[in-house]
Structure 1
């Protein structure tokens, strides 16, 4: 019994962690209807990487960096600079 318990606990831990990581990978980025809706959640918009520079001029807020979220809302990047809905 003493040898079985650690094996069962280890298997449960490994199985539980694999399910948690699979859920986070499968979670889809939210697609917003328009920039007003996206800016309520992310004031500075969404950038595809931290190295992207804004081509549209001065902005008030720093964009949130997320490739998955940017890809889901790519159509809202009017000036094609890698930042969707920048303000």
Structure 2
């Protein structure tokens, strides 16, 4: 009986701690960059909306970093509207 109660308490504690961790990550604000030069210092290939987004322009030198929240924050820098901001 004592083992079952301990297991229930430990399980509940783990679930609660995981819910706080995921909430913190979800509420983390994506950084806004003033221009592509600033963005490319941190992300050489630019920022893609998802990992499956394909570049519609020419050949690029670097692979873009995939992050929906970061892309949404900086999507005004996606001139050709292909889902990748500041690609190089």
TM-score range, shorter chain: 0.7 to 0.9
Q: Which residue of 2 aligns with 1:2?
A: 2
TM superposition shift of 1:7: 3.3
The 3 A distance-change label for structure 1 pair 55 and 11 is closer
Unpaired segments of 5 or more residues in structure 2? none
Q: Which residue of 2 aligns with 1:55?
A: 56
Query: 2:82 matched to 1:78?
Result: no
Cα displacement string for residues 30-49 of structure 1 (whole angstroms, at most 9, x for unaligned residues): 11111111111110001112
Q: Secondary structure of 2:45's partner?
A: coil
Q: Secondary structure of 2:8's partner?
A: helix
CA RMSD of superposed structures (Å): 1.8
Query: 2:22 matched to 1:21?
Result: yes
Report the Cα distance in structure 1 between the residues aligned to 2:82 and 2:19, rounded to whole angstroms: 36
- List structure 1 segments (4+ residues) > 4 angstroms apart after TM superposition: none
TM-score, structure 2 length as denominator? 0.82
TM superposition shift of 1:64: 1.1
Unpaired segments of 5 or more residues in structure 1? none
